[in-house]
Structure 1
Amino acid sequence: MRHDNLYITGVGAWYPKPVPVEEAIEAGLYDDATRRRSGQNSAAVAGDDDTQPVMAVRAGKLALRHSGLEADEFGLLLHATGAFCGLDGWNVGSYLQQQVLDGNGLSVEVKQQSNGAMAAIELAAAFLAGRPERQAAMITSSDRFERPTWNRWRTYPGLVLGDGASAAVLSRAGGFARIASVATESRSDLERAQRAGVEFTPYPDFDDPKAYPVNLVDRMRAFVDEEHEGRISEVFKRMNEALILSVGRASEEAGVRPEDIDHLVFPNFGKTMLRQEVLTPLGLDEARTPVEFVRETGHVGAVDQFGGLEYLIRAGRLEAGQRVLLCGIGLGFNWTSAVLEIDRTPAPVAG
């Protein structure tokens, strides 16, 4: 959908200290051959005090400050996450609403895995269009990938999982970037690719070796064997088609070709995975992606897109007149693409 008065007016991101890949190799958690394929230098790994909600609060407060808005101007907070939120039996959205926005507006948690923050743009746009008395919405995201649920180094070949949080402020009253268009594609017939070979359970059973740590490779293999006679190429073909449609529709509605966009922010995949599953299908190259950022943090779920945008600002690489493509890919599967037009060179994000 094309937008004429939807803007990003502030962003924020917070990442813990990166752990060099060499340390994981020395500990037997990773291997040099995979490192060469992924090109990963390090992964952002949370410390004991870096819980998912706390990291989200840090990023949200940075985005609020960067926006220059007051908390009482917000009508909505959407929190995107894919992993455990720090505590069962509570509402992380309400916590963030209180801690970041002083209780203003309302809050909703978005569970769409790594596409959550991008999908939240669609939800925030609809909310703001229907509630003209509230001009701003906050999108936060945080994830932390810890054992016994996750093995950050081996969940998926060529992919290293990192920890951190990011946030963005959306407004109808102007900002440094206009969201020219947003387009989402969904392929729910592929959701079994993440659950084949395991069963639903009433509670997490960390003693079940089939279920934990999460092994997306084994689940994908079981899905391909059961439904596609072992032809994984059929699955990737459908995924590539949806990605191309999402990026193509967002670009067309924004009046720009993907190859002419100045900056490309995709999920923080390793270099081989990014090339095979994203860049090659789209006919794009790595040069316009924030490679150095990706290789330091790893894939932080739904955090990657606004985190990448914040990095481009921090690195002084965004200028008025440029365009940015943000693209999320979430298990399930869902793809959301957004084209931004940079109206003015954004101020640095205060740390």
Structure 2
Amino acid sequence: MPSPAEPGAFVIGSAVVLPPATESAEDAVRSGRITESERERLGVTRVHVADEPAPLLAAAAARAAATRAGAAPDQVAHLLHAHTYYQGHDFWSPAHFVAHEAGFDACVPMSIGQMCNGGAAALDIAVERVRSTVPGAPALSVVTTADTFGGDGFDRWGSDYDTVYGDGATCVILSPRADRTTGPALGVLALDSRARPQFEAMYREGDAFGTTPHALRAAVDVKATKRAFFQRSGGTAEFRDVAVKTIGELVAGVIDRAGVGIGDVAATMLPRLSPKVLDLMYSEAIDPRLAPTLHCERDTTGHLGAGDFLANLDHLRRTGLIADGQYALVVGGGGGFTWSAALVQKLGPATPRT
């Protein structure tokens, strides 16, 4: 077997900010937003509910991650902010707001829109930016996500099939060096994505193009467009087959590029989706030898929109799920459709790379 690849970048700081208020699945049943059978399929006990705008949560996550990384504002070259839903203003750049609120006024902000794969897409861009850092220039890239699904425009429990959307923000800070004086780092050995754009209509089927937000419906109704899409295409079989093949090839390729073996992967982090959705796309796609390593942190967060991928990296970095020196796989995806995977190694303060 070849030696493990050299990391393209290192996650030296991370944070997840979840609002203190929560809603339980039982509350959703009692209010009639979901049925008891739907509650059982979700695999979620409660989710966090924000009373402040998503970009403020993102800025808080960025400040927390920077503190944990020991990152000074003048070290940050880029900030990439991803989201799936409304950020509080109609004609505006939330990335610039997050950068200013977090104190990174010398960086170049960028907003990323790739639905629920947005965090992974932003991470991919940030890794490339870090790799191309000019000696002597600011070297850090900050990636944030934030989504809040409250108000009348989105029913977090009922707008989509078998998915509950929780509010929260995430952040990771990338460096070209593994500066681990402030805690563990994650070396990013390989990161890749695969897209199948023929499925973009799943989120618009049956609807004309509108000219203003919510011109077609007062609230987001993913169930309606998915139902129309699958009725036209004859069911979910084609999508499932393409998803399984694509994710399988993606995961195998990332592990191969990282230069590690299947048996070296200690944890495989899945997106924070219901068991039914994971079964539709991921369960058969991932090598059966990885089955004992599968891990999903959905129970008290639900699906964090664009944030699942980065939240899972934070979980790997700041908990004991994997030990120093061990490898983990992070897998995610989003409507459009795009799927991403990363192979990382946890590096503690005294852990040399092997």
TM-score of the aligned structures, taking structure 1 as reference length: 0.90
Aligned to 1:349: none
Structure 1 pair 275–223 and aligned structure 2 pair: CA distance change class (3 A): closer
CA drift at 1:125:
2.0
Sequence identity, in percent? 24
Does the Cα contact within 8 Å between 1:270 and 1:295 map onto a contact in 2? no
Count of equivalent residues: 337
Structure 1 pair 77–327 and aligned structure 2 pair: CA distance change class (3 A): same
Aligned to 1:73: 75
Does the Cα contact within 8 Å between 1:265 and 1:290 map onto a contact in 2? yes
User: Which structure 1 residue ranges, 5 or more long, are not aligned?
Assistant: 347-351
Aligned to 2:145: 141
Structure 1 pair 63–263 and aligned structure 2 pair: CA distance change class (3 A): same
CA drift at 1:314:
4.4
CA drift at 1:38:
2.0
Equivalent of residue 121 in structure 1, options 120, 123, 144 = 123
Give SS of 1:269's match: coil
Give SS of 1:53's match: helix
2:102 is matched by which residue type in structure 1? V
CA drift at 1:216:
2.1
Q: Does 1:186 align with 2:195?
A: yes
Q: Does 1:160 align with 2:164?
A: yes
Give SS of 2:285's match: helix
Structure 1 pair 155–259 and aligned structure 2 pair: CA distance change class (3 A): farther
Matches for 1:165-244 after TM superposition, within 5 Å: 165-175=169-179, 176-205=185-214, 208=216, 211-226=217-232, 228=233, 230-244=234-248
Equivalent of residue 96 in structure 2, options 89, 94, 108 = 94
2:18 is matched by which residue type in structure 1? Y
Does the Cα contact within 8 Å between 1:5 and 1:173 map onto a contact in 2? no
Does the Cα contact within 8 Å between 1:118 and 1:328 map onto a contact in 2? yes
2:28 is matched by which residue type in structure 1? A
Equivalent of residue 311 in structure 2, options 299, 303, 307 = 307
Structure 1 pair 114–259 and aligned structure 2 pair: CA distance change class (3 A): farther
CA drift at 1:204:
1.8
1:196 is matched by which residue type in structure 2? E
User: RMSD in angstroms over aligned alpha carbons?
Assistant: 2.0
Q: Does 1:8 align with 2:11?
A: yes
Structure 1 pair 21–267 and aligned structure 2 pair: CA distance change class (3 A): same
User: Which structure 2 residue ranges, 5 or more long, are not aligned?
Assistant: 180-184
2:92 is matched by which residue type in structure 1? W
Does the Cα contact within 8 Å between 2:6 and 2:189 map onto a contact in 1? yes
Give SS of 1:319's match: coil
CA drift at 1:212:
4.2
Between structures 1 and 2, the one with greater helix share: 1
Structure 1 pair 287–24 and aligned structure 2 pair: CA distance change class (3 A): farther
